[in-house]
Amino acid sequence: MFEQPNDFREESNALHSLLSGLDDEGFEKRTQFKQWTLNDVVSHLHAWNIAADLSLRDPEKFSAFREKLFEDIGAGATIREAERGWLEPCSGRALLDAWHGFSREMANRFTDADPKMRVQWAGPDMSVRSSITARLMETWAHGQEIYDTLGVSRVDADRIRNIATLGVNTFGWTFINRGLEVPGTAPHVCLTAPSGAVWTWNEPSDDARVEGNATEFCQVVTQVRALGDTKLKVVGEVAERWMSIAQCFAGAPEDPPAPGTRFTAN
């Protein structure tokens, strides 16, 4: 038994509760993220949940999914267009039910798996634990644009420690992914959890550190908030460089949002 599948289940349940009061028309609302609609966000989460689940229980089908996805993108399709080809066509409340029901089944399968087992992914292989943690991170991160669009301030739980840890662990990846040299020792990170607990990573340092609210740190490393829109205290040139481009998710380098462009709507 390991905790991440249940954390993923609880984050998915929280997002489902937020969306459950909408009618089909409500899912056509556009978010601050690339003008995606709520339908786009939920279908994106659903498509990659299916992919992660296949990587666990049917590697051959996952390989076929990955090959077709790259083929479609190579032919000029956007990632959203390529994903839609993998899903049963549905939207609104039908899509919500399909995504949520699958997320619960998937969480059960990951709970029963060996957390150290290696599984395929669109990039390098990863452990089962890392795979479900990535799905938790994606659910939380893409969930933010839904909370923002609906004007709801999210109340986080300490399960976001998984995302904060991922953010810390991808310090080097952030630079490597951009073709940059990794700058020395990773800064000390000290965060206050939703519960009030204090979480720390890396050696203490007066000259290189990031400290503040854990939710805001997670928002920066998942690029759902600009660093300048948070109250994080960032000390030292290395920490400043890292936080200005931090990216804890796989894929091509992405730039953080400009200050003031991602916020909870009134």
pLDDT (0 to 100) of residue 18: 98
11 close to 136: Cβ distance less than 8 angstroms = yes
Please, which residues have CB within 8 angstroms of residue 180's CB and are 6 or more apart in sequence? Answer: none
Phi-psi region of 40 (alpha: psi -120 to 50; beta: other; left: phi over 0): alpha
Residue 256 is given by DSSP the state P
Number of Cβ within a 10 Å radius of residue 246? 21
pLDDT (0 to 100) of residue 201: 98
- The rounded mean pLDDT for the chain is 96
pLDDT (0 to 100) of residue 118: 97
Residue 75 is given by DSSP the state T
What is the rounded distance in angstroms from the CA atom of residue 65 to the CA atom of residue 52?
Answer: 11
pLDDT (0 to 100) of residue 159: 98
- Spell out the domains of the chain, with CATH numbers in brackets: 4-153 (1.20.120.450), 161-245 (3.30.1050)
pLDDT (0 to 100) of residue 198: 98
Which segments in the chain show pLDDT lower than 50? none
pLDDT (0 to 100) of residue 141: 98
